[in-house]
Amino acid sequence: MSATMDVDLFSEYFNKSPVLYLEGRQHPIQIFYTKQQQSDYLQAALVSIFQIHQEAPPAHDILVFMTGQEEIEALARTCRDISKHVPDGCGSMVVLPLYASLPPAQQLRVFQPAPKGCRKVILSTNIAETSVTISGIKYVIDTGMVKAKRFNPDSGLEVLAVQRVSKAQAWQRAGRAGREESGFCYRLYTEQEFDNFLPMTVPEIQRCNLAGVMLQLMALGIPDVMNFDFMSKPSPEAVRSAVDHLELLGAVERREGQVLLTPLGKKMASFPLEPRYAKTILLSPEYSCSEEILSIVSLLSVDTVLYNPPARRDDVLAARKKFTSSEGDHMTLLNIYRAFKKVSGNKEWCRENFVNSRNMGLVKEVQAQLRDICLKLNLKLESCGSDTSSVRRCLAHGMFLNAAELQLDGSYVALDTHQPVTIHPSSVLFQAKPAYVIFNELLHTSRCYMRDLCLVDADWLLEAAPEYFGRKLHLSKP
C-alpha cells in the first residue's frame, strides 16, 4: 500500500467499497528529530551529511531529500569541497544529484554501487520518494521541504513554491531507508513541527488551475459542471476562477444562467493541453506560424530540455550564446530545437550544448501528437520562417493572462493582479528591461520570479482582449 494514498477517501467515494491491504516488507527504521527548529535546512543537511559520514561504515549510503536543482547543485559543490578535507580514516564520498531534468546517463549513476570504501551521497528531489528505489541506502536525511505548484483563485496565478511536506510524504521518505535492511531517518525538524504537518498531501485538484479540467468536463457533456461531484472537492472560488479564465479565453460563454462551451472551446478541448496553449495553437494559422507554435508549446509541455550544471557555468553560457534571442526564452528554445532537429538529435551535440536528449525526444513525440490533432481539425500548418514577430504576436494572443508590465521604478507587476514580480536570473531577458512580457510560470522563493519570458507589444495585448486590457494597461507607459 502506498503511504501517500488516502484509502478511506477512495472507499467513501465509491459507496464504502471494501479495502484489501497487501503489506509490503519494511525493515525497522529509527527516526531522529532535531531538538530545535532549523532556520537554515540546507546548512542542517550539510552538517548531518558529514556527521553520518564520520560515524557510519562507508558501505552505508545516504539519501538527502531537497527541493530543486539549484539547491541540489549548490549543496553537491559544497559537499565535494568539504570532503577533500575530512580527517584521515573517514573514507571518501561520491556526491550524486538526482532530479528530473538531469540527463539520463547522469541519473543512472545513482543506481551504480560506489567504489569499495567509498560512500554514495545522493541529493534528490521528491523523485526518489516513490518513483525509484535505490539500493544501498541506509540513511535518509529529510529536510521536510518540497517544491509544489499551487493556484491562487483570487490572483488567477499558478505559483511554484517551496512548502512543508505532509506527514504521509515524510513517512514515504523515511521508508526509503528500510528497503533492504534496518535504517535511519534524520528529520531536520522537531517532533512538534512534524505533529503540525498536514496528514496527507493536498490533492492536486485542490491546488491547481481548474480551467483545463472544467473545459474537459464540458466537452464530455457533463451537466452543471459548477457543482460536479469531485472526490476531493475544490473550493467554489477555484471553480468560479476556472470558468472566468475560460470565458476570457473565449472557450465558454454564460447564457441564461448556464455556462456553455463555444465552438472555439470545443476545438480547444481536443488538445491534451492547458487551455492557453490550446488557444495559442488554434490561433497560429492566422499568423502563419503553426509549425513554430507547435514546437514552442511542445517544448513548454515537457520537463526542461536544458541542463545547467553550475560548475560549468561559463561553458553553458558559451554554448547557449549562439542560440540566444533578444526576444526572449521562447525564441531561444525554438532556436535550440531547430538546431537539435538539424543534427537529427545527435547525442554528442546534446552533450556539447547541455541539452537533455531524452526530454528533446519527448518534445518530438508531443509535437507529432499535436500535429495529428491539428490535421483532424483541418488547421493549416505552415512556417513563418524567420518572422519571429508573428510567433510572439500569436503567443501574446494566447497567453495574455500571464502578462507583466515594467514600472517607472524598474520593477514589474503582473497585469492581471498587479502583484510584484521579477525576471528569473535564468531568463535571457534577465539583464534587459522590456516594457511588456508574457511568462510561462511564476516561481515563489524569496521573491516571485517569472520564468520562460517572451517580449511582446502592448498593442498585441490590447488586440487579444480589448475590454480586459483597457482596464489593466497603464496609460503612462514606462
- Based on the domain organization, do 280 and 174 belong to the same domain? no
Distance CA 151, CA 376 (A): 33
In a domain, 365, yes or no: yes
C-alpha cell at 375: 490535421
CATH number at residue 92: 3.40.50.300
Distance CA 264, CA 249 (A): 9
- Based on the domain organization, do 72 and 179 belong to the same domain? yes
Amino acid 54 reads Q
Distance CA 142, CA 421 (A): 31
Query: What strands lie across the sheet with 183-187, from one edge to the other?
Result: 29-33, 183-187, 137-142, 61-65, 118-124, 92-98
- Based on the domain organization, do 38 and 183 belong to the same domain? yes
Bridge partners for 120 per DSSP: 94
- Based on the domain organization, do 296 and 242 belong to the same domain? no
Run means of pLDDT, 10 residues per run, the chain, 478 residues = 68 89 81 96 96 91 94 93 84 92 87 91 91 87 94 79 94 90 96 96 91 96 88 92 94 89 97 97 97 98 87 89 96 97 92 92 96 97 93 97 93 90 94 95 87 95 88 53
**Single pTM value for the model:** 0.85
In a domain, 1, yes or no: no
Q: Interhelix angle for 69-83 vs 41-55, to 10°? A: 40
* Domain C-terminal end among 218, 243, 268: 268
Contact 261, 269 (CB under 8 A): yes
pLDDT at 139: 97
In a domain, 210, yes or no: yes
Residue where the block lists cell 460563454: 253
In a domain, 116, yes or no: yes
Provide the domain limits for residue 468. 399-472
pLDDT at 1: 37
- Based on the domain organization, do 175 and 104 belong to the same domain? yes
- Based on the domain organization, do 362 and 429 belong to the same domain? no
Distance CA 327, CA 392 (A): 8
pLDDT at 198: 95
| DSSP codes joined into one string, 297-338 | HHHHTSS-SB---GGGHHHHHHHHHTT--TTBHHHHHHHHHH
In a domain, 248, yes or no: yes
Amino acid 324 reads T
- Based on the domain organization, do 197 and 209 belong to the same domain? no
Dump pLDDT digits (tens) for 23-43: 766 789 999 999 999 999 999
- Based on the domain organization, do 373 and 464 belong to the same domain? no
Contact 402, 276 (CB under 8 A): yes
- Based on the domain organization, do 82 and 145 belong to the same domain? yes
pLDDT at 131: 67
In a domain, 195, yes or no: yes
CATH number at residue 221: 1.10.10.2130
- Based on the domain organization, do 85 and 232 belong to the same domain? no
In a domain, 348, yes or no: yes
- Based on the domain organization, do 335 and 461 belong to the same domain? no
In a domain, 215, yes or no: yes
Question: Beta 258-261 vs 252-255: how paired, if at all?
Answer: antiparallel
Total number of domains in the chain? 4
- Based on the domain organization, do 88 and 180 belong to the same domain? yes
* Domain C-terminal end among 221, 253, 268: 268
Bridge partners for 159 per DSSP: 150, 442
Distance CA 329, CA 129 (A): 31
* Domain C-terminal end among 231, 250, 268: 268
